[in-house]
Amino acid sequence: MALSGSIRKGSTNHRLLQAIAELTAETLDITIYDGLGSLPHFDPDLPDGEEVTAFKRRIREADGVIICTPEYAHGVPGTLKNAIDWTVSSCEFSGKPTALITASTDGRYGHQALLETLKVIEAKGVEQLSLLIPFARTKVDKAAGITDGKTMSAVQELIREFVKTLD
């Protein structure tokens, strides 16, 4: 399962996930979850609705999760943080192999904040399965291709390590 921290369909992060899905088509069956914007605001006093239940089930059923996100105002995009908050008490990420890619103009603040959140909820291997891609718009083209050689190598290495955690 893959999550884009940007809910815009044509975002750099969505295109990067599409590129990863194409690169790994023979090894992994990656499904990009497009429902982050449909999840209600997190409220621990409310029961899980249909969208939240389906989201949690998809995480539980996935062998692993790849998160690719921009940084907004030096932080984690609200829709992504909201989605993760829904899983805190039910532990869907606990022990789940999780790769974190932050692809943004800078990204280091949001990347560090999300890395901390994923460690707290016990996502498996996230510290080793972490990649920061600054100036991402210059490295991913409109056709979902990774155009920068160093970025391509780093993504391929991250995916190799991610696949090892799935066993």
Q: What amino acid occupies position 50?
A: E
For residue range 33-72, list pLDDT tens digits in order: 999 999 999 999 989 999 999 999 999 999 999 999 999 9
Using the structure block, give the residue that is written with the tokens 């899983």.
87
Give residue 144's pLDDT band: very low, low, confident or very high (50, 70, 90). Answer: low
- Per-residue pLDDT, averaged over 65-93, amounts to 96
- DSSP structure string for 59-92: HHHSS-EEEEE--BTTB--HHHHHHHHTTTTTTT
Q: What is the dihedral of CA 13, 113, 95, 43, to 10 degrees?
A: -90
The predicted pLDDT at position 161 comes to 97
**CATH superfamily assigned to domain 2-165:** Flavodoxin domain (3.40.50.360)
- Per-residue pLDDT, averaged over 118-147, amounts to 92
CA angle 123, 80, 36 (to 5 degrees): 115
Give residue limits of the domains in the chain: 2-165
**pLDDT over threshold 80, residue 99:** yes
Using the structure block, give the residue that is written with the tokens 């609200």.
78
- Using a pLDDT cut of 70, give the percent of the chain over it: 99
